[in-house]
Amino acid sequence: MQTNNQGVQVGIVGGTGYTGVELLRTLANHPSAHVKMITSRSEKGVSVADMYPNLRGIYDLQFSVPDIDALKTCDVVFFATPHGVAMSMALELIEAGVKVIDLAADFRIEDLAVWEQWYGMTHSGAALMPKVAYGLPEYYRERIQKASIIANPGCYPTSILLGILPLLKAGLVEKNSIIADGKSGVSGAGKGANVAMLAAEMSESFKAYGVNGHRHQPEMAEKMVDITGESVDLTFVPHLVPMVRGMESTIYVTLKENTSQEVIQRLYEEAYASEPFVDVMPAGSVPETRMVKGSNMCRMAIYRPAGGSKVVITSVIDNLVKGAAGQAVQNMNILFGLDERLGLNQVALLP
């Protein structure tokens, strides 16, 4: 059982969904973290091991109703909740010295008018935004170290931003014609009952969704502008594929001038040389989602097809790990000055 009271004391709010159980799975292997409490109003009193048999013998915990005073005894609280929950509780927690990591979207977009437009509710946390860091470690590590609240990125933004940012930062591509084509497994839709996610509805089929606009588009565009200082024109189309977990993003950009495949490959290798969870594969490789299943790794390959003016980046992650819970734990490690890799050295599952 995980009963050691040493290390970072962790609370999880909203632990019954896929990201909640993935947090528990990841933290079970973390040598410097102890899950102190996990909450769910609907499952109060239910044993974690009864809901998730894969955690039998690992956790001696029951789901409890969220209690702000109890959560204040933690060092960090993860919110694996619907949008709007974290912003309603974060102020009291950070005033008590507790770090907050939100796996929902409450703090991902700095322009709150844009956030309200896309999420259809009033944002009540404007005063909190100066204390927020966007939790993409490869580009915001220094801000994360100093933050009180971490906005864990969406899964699509993680795979796409990691894939495109080296070229954008280097100024090698046109910023007015970026196309990102994303494909995700059905776990990205969450655990709630949904007719469209039934096996008979989605098996042996493949479809686009959110073609007229998806809330991850403004999140990505804002970060591209933040990092490059220039406006961008991003077209993003997500797709649902008939698998449980995994995400592949293919990104298309146009070169400003003739830049060789070798130069672009070297640019990416140098950009991510010191990053423990980004793997730039050799030229000509084809990243597959199974190469990252169950791991916190993002693997990518870069192409210049037929030596033309286009560059194609293909990027794969596990949407529940690097796209959610794993990246959240990576951010926790940074916040508390721990080795970033702690709890995250799982090797991908094959086959």
Q: Is residue 51 in some structural domain?
A: yes
For residue 87, give the nearest of 47, 56, 50, 116 by alpha carbon: 116
Burial (0-12, 13-18, 19+ Cβ within 10 Å), 220: buried
Q: Render pLDDT for 89-133 as a digit per residue (tens, 0 to 9).
A: 999 999 999 999 999 999 999 999 999 999 999 999 999 999 999
| Per-residue model confidence as pLDDT tens digits over 291-307 | 999 999 999 999 999 88
90/204 same-domain check: no
Same domain, 127 and 223: no
By the 8 A CB rule, do 102 and 86 touch?
yes
Gap between the terminal Cα atoms of the chain: 29
Question: Which pLDDT band holds residue 191 (cuts at 50, 70, 90)?
Answer: low
- The pLDDT assigned to 235 comes to 96
Both 166 and 314 in one domain: the answer is yes
Judgement on whether residues 176 and 119 belong to the same structural domain of the protein: no
Are the C-beta atoms of residues 129 and 166 closer than 8 Å to each other? no
Q: Say if residue 203 is exposed, middle or buried (CB neighbours under 10 Å; 0-12, 13-18, 19+).
A: exposed
**pLDDT at 274 > cutoff 70:** yes
| pLDDT at position 193 | 61
216: its two tokens: 């991850």
4-13, 166-175, 266-275, 292-301: segment of lowest average pLDDT:
4-13
Structure confidence at residue 285 as a pLDDT band (50, 70, 90)? very high
- 144: tokens are 């994360």
Domain containing 175: what range? 156-319
- pTM to 2 decimals? 0.94
Residue 2 lies in a domain: no
Same domain, 271 and 235: yes
Same domain? For 140 and 163 the reply is no
Helical pair 137-146 and 155-170, crossing angle rounded to 10 deg: 100
Residue 93: per-residue pLDDT: 98
Residue 3 covered by a domain: no
Assigned domain for 344 exists:
no
Name the catalytic one among 21, 48, 55, 155: 155
Give me the mean pLDDT over the 248-276 stretch. Answer: 96
> 56 and 198 share a domain?
no
Region for 210 from its dihedrals, namely left if φ exceeds 0, alpha if ψ lies in -120 to 50, beta otherwise: left
CATH code of the domain covering residue 162: 3.30.360.10
The pLDDT of 46-74, averaged and rounded, is 94
Q: Is residue 350 part of a domain?
A: no
pLDDT over 90 (residue 189): no
Does 296 fall in a domain? yes
Residue at 149 is within a domain: yes
Reported as a single tens digit per residue, the pLDDT across 240-258 is 999 889 999 999 999 999 9
**Tokens in use for 142?**
């220094």
- CATH number, position 79: 3.40.50.720
- 56: pLDDT strictly greater than 70: yes
Spatial distance between the Cα atoms of 94 and 233, rounded to a whole number of angstroms: 36
Over residues 57-72, the mean pLDDT reads 95
Predicted local confidence at residue 3, as pLDDT:
42
Q: Residue 283: pLDDT above 70?
A: yes
In whole numbers, what is the pLDDT of the chain averaged over residues?
Answer: 93
55 has a pLDDT exceeding 50:
yes
C-alpha to C-alpha distance for 24 and 48, rounded to whole angstroms: 9
pLDDT in tens, 146-183: 999 999 999 999 999 999 999 999 999 999 989 999 99
Q: Are residues 138 and 279 both part of a single domain?
A: no
Q: What tokens does 231 get?
A: 């406006």
Residue type, 64: S
Strand bridging mode 310-317 / 298-303: antiparallel
Distance CA 216, CA 157 (A): 7
Using 50, 70 and 90 to split pLDDT, how confident is the model at 198? confident
Q: Do residues 200 and 104 both lie within one domain?
A: no
- Note whether 74 and 171 are same-domain residues: no
Examine the domain organization and report whether 193 and 219 are in the same domain: yes
Instruction: Output the DSSP codes for 261-307.
Output: HHHHHHHHHHHTTT-TTEEEPPTT----GGGTTTSS-EEEEEE-GGG
208 & 314 share domain: yes
What confidence score (pLDDT) does residue 39 get?
94
- With a cut of 80, say whether residue 202 has pLDDT above it: no
Q: How confident is the model at residue 2 (pLDDT cuts 50, 70, 90)?
A: very low
298 is catalytic: no
Angstrom distance (rounded) from CA 221 to CA 118: 14
DSSP E strands, the chain: 8-13, 33-39, 63-64, 76-79, 99-102, 132-134, 149-151, 178-184, 207-208, 234-240, 247-254, 278-280, 298-303, 310-317
Query: Per-residue pLDDT averaged across 308-319, rounded?
Result: 96
Asked whether residue 348 is domain-assigned, the answer is no
Q: Number of folded domains in the chain?
A: 2
